[in-house]
Structure 1
Amino acid sequence: MLTAAVVGALTAGLVAVAGPQLTANSTDAVPPGAQPQAAPAAQPDPDTCAPMVAALSPRDRLAQRLMVGVDAADPAGATAIVRESQVGGVFLGGNATALLQDDRLAALQKASRTPLAVAVDEEGGRVQRIDELDGDVPSARQMAASDSPEEVAGIARERAGQLRARGVTWNLAPSVDVSDQPRTAVIGDRSFSDDPATVTRYAAAWAEGQQAGGVFGVLKHFPGHGHSSGDSHKGSVSTPPLDQLRAGDLRPYADLVGPGKPLDGRVGVMLGHLDVPGLTTDVPTSIAPAAYRLLREDYRFDGLAMTDDLGAMKAITDRFGLAEATTRALTAGADMALFSNVTPVAPLLDAAEKALAEGRITAQDNDTAVARVLAAKGLCSRG
């Protein structure tokens, strides 16, 4: 069990104390003629996630890797799901807003022994969850056409502040898909532009703005849904070959994530349900080990990687049941599996426990994934 006291004690270890500064008149100054001593090597930040992971039971570690949908119109039902399953996060989709009012999400948090990630997909335009409560935000394409990146950062910061005030901690946005699809297509005006450089600028602005507003962001849909053959909600879709994606759709990831990049360590990445020639064979990217290797090795991303919705998108559900999709995702390399609808959690955890016992999920990989989830929630540092 991970109590609030444990979390507080562990996260307190993140605070570093600066040492004394030498001045020209300091008694510690180097005497004339003496050889100056090399400055001590900087010490790495402590890993405060490892003890938090160790404090969780094996089943609770696996539960941290699940984000499940709850009915925003049914606070009591949502609380029961969290209390019984101890999942790592909940997702609020649709237009119901009961959970987003009157501090009900704070009550939901109390049902969890480990602080929850509470997620929405607030992109603006036709994908919004709080527009009836806090007003409308334009679509990504509209913002890129009419606002500067600095203005978009301000819009994102304000929206994130509104989300945070209601108890939301994660936003599964922005879309970094590069697309010239018609406005109402599956990506369409959810994309900032058909120009990768423009997408990069505006996605960075949105992500940085919402982080400043106190919300963790997730880039999507890796490796690129903008030139896909259809809508993965409705069935299997394919993309251009991997080499072609590298030249366009993947450029925002190359420019934004990985060591030294603007969003390094600041965002997660969502993998779409995409069949990519040259990358995947018989399964979509969200459950394909090769796709996670591409993200981790080629783009050197070491943060949270999560799936798109495994429970209500036919690109997955036409091929696999919920439990098999879950274990395939977790064994492939997903840190977190997403389900947008209310979903029975116990069968998912039973299947994941079986995969762990059989070695299909290794204990080391599982602990690393849980640490990424906890770090994305702001509960610890991975060092």
Structure 2
Amino acid sequence: MVTVQRRTPATMFAAAAAGALAFSLVSCSSPDDAAEGTSSSAPAASATQSTAETGADSGDPTTSCVDGEQDLATLAASTLAVGVVGFDDAADAVDAGVRHIFIGSSTDLSILDGQGDPERSITALKERAAEAGGELTVSVDEEGGQVQRLGEIIGELPSARELADTLSPEEVRGVFAEHGRKMHDLGITMDFAPVVDLAGGESISDNAIGDRAFSDDPQIVTDYGRAAVEGLLDAEVTPVIKHFPGHGHATGDSHEGTVTTPPIEEMGADLAPFAELWQMPGVAVMVGHMQTPGLDSQDTGGVLGAETPSSLNPAAYALLRDGLQGLDGENAPGFDGVVFTDDLTGMQAITDLHDGPQAVVQALRAGADAPLTSTAADVPATVDGLVAAVENGDLDRDRLTEAADRLCAV
């Protein structure tokens, strides 16, 4: 039967979950798929890719790119991924130590390379970060369909559902490679895509997914998700698969309030695409805000999955990090790459529970590497909150260092 491999004693699952996860992981993968493993068609990690980018093989604790003597505030800032409005707030964030900025719906797109003043561009920000020591990641939500930020500049991308209905996986790889190259030319280095949730509703209004999903079939989602990942990697853009542990069968929209999934013992099919695709070199993962009954943790007095968003739940990160073990040698090793949260300051599933700095502390303590927040204006208060949490013992500095190390290695 499938078990959750435990490297720490933090989590426990309902016994019934094991059989369900085993069945789903095995049934969505043919022997040929299993033999492919990380897929022979997936591009090999380039010489510039660190081990922190290579799925289950990353995160070597014997190497580090974080200065162990650096100021605590700078260390804290380096874990943050923040949305920016324009050059000025982005520059302030970079100067504060932030090494990941997010291009969102409110961003002035003249900041992108080739779209405005070169001295107030992404390249200028990257140079600013390099002068201070470090590289700058620039991300965007460019899924296609209803979730695009750059369509007016680089052209529209069809929704995941339309792509799966009309094109082969190999053709989809080409589509994402072409779109990714256009993003790369603008200075983008990371895309919060593809969505590898299963389709659980016809419309995006059902649960915020709708046609953002390739299919309700986990094997189709895996095949097309792999193609999208490969295309982005072809374009030298880091893909981020989302929303772990699976949003497709959730009820509610986390932008507007609480979202609940089925119990963890019924989530095997939803987990299956993640378990396969996180093994691909170069992939990062985003954890969503869904509350999942049975995904419980014994850490810090006990956390119940039915009451705690996955992005703040140690059990969700343990499931991701520790991996799944299935029947007859069908194994999904744990993921050691970078783990993001969904937006912690612009979605009511979190803001109804915590203010921004509190949510960031909770996410890092639970196991996130890069807590995502909507605006760079939050950086000073968030850094102050993280520093205070370390100083009063609510957050271990080593946890900050671990998160920062994964991020700077990328």
What TM-score bracket applies, with the shorter chain setting the length?
Answer: 0.7 to 0.9
AA aligned opposite 2:217? D
Q: Does 1:268 align with 2:260?
A: no
Q: Distance in 2 between matches of 1:13 and 1:88?
A: 17
2:274 to 253, 259, 262: 253
1:215 to 234, 237, 244: 237
Q: Distance in 1 between matches of 2:187 and 2:66?
A: 23
Distance change in 2, residues 1:140/1:55 (3 Å): farther
Q: Distance in 2 between matches of 1:108 and 1:194?
A: 41
- Residue 109 of structure 1 is matched in structure 2 by 126
Contact 2:173–2:231 (Cα < 8 Å) also in 1: yes
Contact 1:50–1:371 (Cα < 8 Å) also in 2: yes
Q: Does 1:320 align with 2:331?
A: no
AA aligned opposite 1:106? T
Q: Distance in 2 between matches of 1:252 and 1:46?
A: 25
Deviations 1:84-115 (A, max 9, x none): x2212111111642112244111122332221
Shift of residue 213, structure 1, vs aligned partner: 0.2
Q: Does 1:97 align with 2:134?
A: no
Q: Does 1:167 align with 2:187?
A: yes
Shift of residue 138, structure 1, vs aligned partner: 0.5
Q: Distance in 2 between matches of 1:194 and 1:12?
A: 36
Distance change in 2, residues 1:281/1:53 (3 Å): farther
AA aligned opposite 1:240? P
Distance change in 2, residues 1:45/1:135 (3 Å): closer
Shift of residue 81, structure 1, vs aligned partner: 3.0
Q: Does 1:344 align with 2:367?
A: no
Q: Secondary structure at the match of 1:344?
A: helix
Q: Secondary structure at the match of 1:150?
A: helix
Contact 1:90–1:117 (Cα < 8 Å) also in 2: yes
Q: Does 1:64 align with 2:98?
A: no
Deviations 1:154-201 (A, max 9, x none): 111111111111111111111010014123331011101000000001
Q: Could you tell me which runs of 5 or more consecutive residues in structure 1 were left unpaired when the two chains were aligned.
A: 1-10, 15-43, 378-383
Deviations 1:228-259 (A, max 9, x none): 1110000001011101112x1101012222xx
TM-score (norm 1): 0.81
Contact 1:272–1:286 (Cα < 8 Å) also in 2: yes
Q: Does 1:79 align with 2:98?
A: no
Q: Does 1:119 align with 2:139?
A: yes
AA aligned opposite 2:273? P
Q: Distance in 2 between matches of 1:302 and 1:356?
A: 24
2:155 to 135, 159, 170: 135
Shift of residue 46, structure 1, vs aligned partner: 8.6
**Alpha-carbon RMSD:** 2.3
Deviations 1:297-343 (A, max 9, x none): 13411111111000110000011111110110111100010012343
- Residue 306 of structure 1 is matched in structure 2 by 340
Q: Distance in 2 between matches of 1:56 and 1:108?
A: 21
Q: Distance in 1 between matches of 2:88 and 2:381?
A: 21
Shift of residue 13, structure 1, vs aligned partner: 12
Shift of residue 45, structure 1, vs aligned partner: 11
AA aligned opposite 1:118? V
Question: 1:17-96 counterparts in 2 under 5 A?
Answer: 50-54=64-68, 56-71=70-85, 74-83=86-95, 85-94=96-105, 96=108
Question: 1:236-251 counterparts in 2 under 5 A?
Answer: 236-246=258-268, 248-251=269-272
Contact 2:291–2:309 (Cα < 8 Å) also in 1: yes
Contact 2:59–2:337 (Cα < 8 Å) also in 1: no
Q: Secondary structure at the match of 2:408?
A: helix
Count of residue correspondences: 329
Contact 1:119–1:170 (Cα < 8 Å) also in 2: yes
Q: Distance in 1 between matches of 2:140 and 2:339?
A: 16
- Residue 294 of structure 2 is matched in structure 1 by 278
- Residue 5 of structure 2 is matched in structure 1 by none
Q: Distance in 2 between matches of 1:45 and 1:141?
A: 34
Q: Distance in 1 between matches of 2:253 and 2:160?
A: 19
Identity across the alignment (%)? 40
Contact 1:53–1:370 (Cα < 8 Å) also in 2: no
Q: Secondary structure at the match of 1:156?
A: helix
Contact 1:180–1:226 (Cα < 8 Å) also in 2: yes
More displaced 10-residue stretch of structure 1: 164-173 or 275-284: 275-284
Q: Secondary structure at the match of 1:94?
A: coil
Contact 1:53–1:371 (Cα < 8 Å) also in 2: no
Deviations 1:240-290 (A, max 9, x none): 1101112x1101012222xxx3x1x41111110011011114321101111
Q: Distance in 1 between matches of 2:150 and 2:48?
A: 33
Q: Distance in 1 between matches of 2:222 and 2:60?
A: 32
Distance change in 2, residues 1:198/1:275 (3 Å): same
Distance change in 2, residues 1:342/1:221 (3 Å): same
Contact 2:154–2:183 (Cα < 8 Å) also in 1: no
Q: Secondary structure at the match of 1:302?
A: coil
- Residue 18 of structure 2 is matched in structure 1 by none
Q: Distance in 1 between matches of 2:219 and 2:67?
A: 39
Shift of residue 128, structure 1, vs aligned partner: 1.0
Shift of residue 48, structure 1, vs aligned partner: 8.7
Shift of residue 204, structure 1, vs aligned partner: 0.7
Higher Cα radius of gyration: 1
Q: Secondary structure at the match of 2:341?
A: strand
Q: Could you tell me which runs of 5 or more consecutive residues in structure 2 were left unpaired when the two chains were aligned.
A: 1-46, 51-57, 296-304, 325-333
Distance change in 2, residues 1:150/1:86 (3 Å): same
Distance change in 2, residues 1:183/1:105 (3 Å): same
Which gives a bigger RCO, structure 1 or 2 (Cα 8 Å, sep 6+)?
Answer: 2
